[in-house]
Amino acid sequence: MTMPSKPKTRLAAKPKHFLSTLLFSWLDPIYRRVHSTSELDTNDLCELEEENKAEHEIARFERYWKEENFPCRQLSKKPKLYRAVWRSYRRGLLSSALYAVLESASRVAQAVLIGLVLTGLAEKPNGEDGGKVQFIYVPVLCLVTYVFVVTLHRGQFLGKLYGMRLRVALTGLVYKKVSNTIYFVCYVFAQKIFLIFKFFELLNNF
């Protein structure tokens, strides 16, 4: 008699702490489950967060677009799409820009530190100063490399995440406007057909 298998528990959707967010260690349970079962299905994956669902993102961006569009109509001005984008995604854009700056700074610092280490070792390879250079600059170089790797991956992750959110929001907004326009055109066309039908019906009564 086989024992019933335990129901699978969904994986956590959000990182537990800031370090887990930076190192992407919250994905480790997925890797361990794949390694143990060699397969995944939709029940294994974490539930999609509400803020990452298309319905929520479209409604959220549409609210900011209405806030931009309403006063512009009253002032007879043309609404600016970039203002709605900035209001909706300024936090993500600023975070991505901060990570990009840290990545560039750490990349430059790497080159400077490597140059200092090589210069010190080339001038006095066997002297006391050469050993001091190694003990001073090498740990700093390791730390800067770590910052570079973390900011690189985190910046790319945020850039793709908010880029995907923006694409979904804009696509949904355009789809709503097109569908509303098509509905309005069909409604007007149906009204005209109805009036024409009523007109011929009145002619037949005479």
Q: Which of 10-24, 60-74, 115-129, 131-145 has the lowest mean pLDDT?
A: 10-24
For 154, other C-beta atoms within 10 Å of its C-beta total 20
pLDDT for 187 equals: 76
The residue to which tokens 């854009």 are assigned = 93
Can you say whether residue 151 is alpha, beta or left, with left for phi > 0 and alpha for psi between -120 and 50 degrees? Answer: alpha
Tokens of 179: 């569908």
Please give the span between the terminal C-alpha atoms of the chain, in angstroms, as a whole number.
Answer: 86
Predicted confidence at residue 104, as pLDDT, reads 92
* pLDDT surpasses 80 at 36: no
Q: What is the pLDDT of residue 109?
A: 92
* Cα–Cα distance, 82 to 91 (Å, whole number): 14
Smallest CA-to-CA distance from 134 within 149, 153, 119, 150 is with 119
Q: What is the DSSP string of 136-166?
A: HHHHHHHHHHHHHHHHHHHHHHHHHHHHHHH
> What pLDDT, in 10s, does the model give residues 77-135?
888 888 888 888 888 889 888 999 999 999 999 999 888 888 777 776 555 555 565 67
Q: Of 3-17, 44-58, 78-92, where does mean pLDDT reach its minimum?
A: 3-17
Whether the pLDDT of residue 175 is over 90: the answer is no
pLDDT at 73 over 60: yes
Q: Is 38 helix (H, G, I), strand (E, B) or coil?
A: coil
Does position 57 have pLDDT exceeding 90, yes or no? no
